[in-house]
Chains A and B, each alone.
Chain A
Amino acid sequence: MEYTSLVDTSLDLNLNPSHFSSLVPKKEVPNNFIELGLRMSSVKDEQAASALVEELNRVSAENKKLTEMLTVMCENYNALQNHLADYMAKNPAAPSDSTNNSSRKRKPESPTNQVMTINNERGNSESSSSDEDSCKKPRQEQHIKAKISRVCVRTEASDTGLLVKDGYQWRKYGQKVTRDNPSPRAYFKCSHAPSCPVKKKVQRSVEDQSILVATYEGEHNHPNQSKHEQASSGLNRTVASTTLGSASLSSSGPTITLDLTTPPKPPTNPSDEAKVGGGGDRRVDTPEFQQFLVDQMASSLTKDPSFKAALAAAISGRMVQQNQSQK
């Protein structure tokens, strides 16, 4: 015997509103259920949209930061290459030995260790590429040697301090007056990490008192935390646009003097570029890269609402002026 025809086992869970409204009086079953459902879905949509917008803003900000860093890096690279060209021109015989030695010494280092300062800046950004993870690793295997480098920074005439902003934290531990220079020489030690051996001497140039000559001894064994802040505030550019002093300081180790002022030139010898594993400068000089930078700037500007408003105001003002002059 079949019971199915007698007993209805279905639960009738169909939420058809018309069905509901036909069963129950309209006042008691509000259509609020449906409205609520719609409202909930719209809220979800709004949340998703706002999350998307937020993510877009974050990525755009990161993009802008990267562009700035890249610009600074290009400037520094060009300045360094220019200095190398000058050095090659002045000392044509010396570089071959030093090149071989340095390449022999540096070859075992992994590319991760070679990417130094900027990597630490990139550690602040939140993108999750695999190479960035590797870049966050500190330079642990960095060997410290008595490397001496000199940087010259032009300051304002009113500035009498001996402060060279290079992105590191320094503790002043002494000052003395030397015979050859009327301005005092200040001694600093890197205070970021207790084990960091880097020392810095700062003194005004004899020839031009507006130039501060900073001489660095050793290499930092820690990341430069405040470099990013400097890059964003343009302090690096200040350093990069300074004039080279010609003060000669006696030292036992090899001395590097950075000429960061003159505009970049192509290397005098094409093989030199190949030796340094270049290609980067060629990328920078390519129209493609230039176009890319232009596009970046254009997109940054067009995204800025205040810039749009200013542009619109300028154009409309111009048009009004033209109309008035025609009348």
Chain B
Amino acid sequence: DEQAASALVEELNRVSAENKKLTEMLTVMCENYNALQNHLA
């Protein structure tokens, strides 16, 4: 049970880190997209 719980926690941490990374990438993409759109405007 403890092993399963620790595996769950580990997986949760991994997915959370991935989530954070994705959010950062999305933010960068949004900034770039808006910069490009502003440039076109």
Residues of A within 8 Å of B19, CB to CB, are 59, 62-63, 66, 127
Q: Is the CB of A275 within 8 A of B5?
A: no
- Contacting pair A69 B26 (CB below 8 A): yes
Name the distance in Å between A70's Cβ and chain B's nearest Cβ: 5
Check A73 against B12 for contact (C-beta < 8 Å). no
Q: Please tell me if the beta carbons of A119 and B30 are within 8 angstroms of each other in the complex.
A: yes
Closest-CB distance, B1 to chain A (whole angstroms): 6
Interface size range on A against B: 35 or more
- Which residue of chain B has the shortest Cβ distance to A258 in the bound complex? B40
Whether B27 pairs with A80 at a CB distance below 8 angstroms is no
Determine the residue in chain B with the shortest Cβ distance to A281.
B32
Residues of A within 8 A of B8 (CB): 49, 52-53, 56
A77: chain B residues at CB < 8 Å are 29, 32-33, 36
Q: B32 to A52, Cβ gap below 8 A?
A: no
Q: When the two chains form their complex, are residues B38 and A102 in contact, meaning their CB atoms are under 8 A apart? A: yes
A77 to B32, CA, bound (A): 8
A52 and B12: CB pair below 8 A? yes
| Chain A interface SS verdict (over half) | helix
* A99-B32 in contact (CB<8A): no
Q: Is the interface of B mostly helix, strand, loop or mixed?
A: helix
Evaluate contact between A280 and B39: CB separation under 8 angstroms.
Answer: no
> In the bound complex, do residue A67 and residue B35 qualify as a contact, i.e. CB atoms below 8 Å apart?
no
In the assembled complex, which residues on chain A have CB atoms less than 8 Å from the CB atom of B27? 115, 131, 135
Q: Can you name the residue of chain A whose Cβ is closest to the Cβ of B2?
A: A45
* Given A63-B15, A278-B32, A280-B33, A45-B1 contact (CB < 8 Å): yes
Instruction: State whether B12 touches A59 (Cβ < 8 A).
Output: yes
Contact between B23 and A66 (Cβ–Cβ < 8 Å)?
yes
Partner of A115 from the list B11, B20, B30 (CB cut-off 8 Å) is: B30
Tell whether A325 is near chain B: CB-to-CB under 8 Å: no
> Which of B9, B25, B40 contacts A70, CB < 8 Å?
B25
Q: Shortest Cβ distance from B12 into chain A, in angstroms?
A: 5
Q: Which of A19-27, A81-89, A308-316 contacts B (4 or more CB under 8 A)?
A: A81-89
Is there a chain B Cβ closer than 8 Å to A37's Cβ? no
Residues of B within 8 A of A129 (CB): 20, 23
Interface centre among A63, A111, A289 (most CB of B within 10 A): A63
Q: Which residues of A contact B25 (CB under 8 A)?
A: 70, 283, 289
Task: Tell whether A305 is near chain B: CB-to-CB under 8 Å.
Answer: no
Which of B5, B20, B37 touches A48 (beta carbons < 8 Å)? B5
Can you give 15 contacting A-B residue pairs, CB < 8 Å?
Answer: A59-B15, A59-B19, A73-B30, A87-B40, A102-B38, A102-B39, A106-B38, A115-B30, A115-B34, A118-B26, A131-B23, A131-B27, A256-B40, A278-B35, A280-B31
Closest 8 CB pairs of A and B: A280-B32, A66-B22, A277-B35, A115-B30, A114-B34, A73-B29, A52-B8, A276-B39
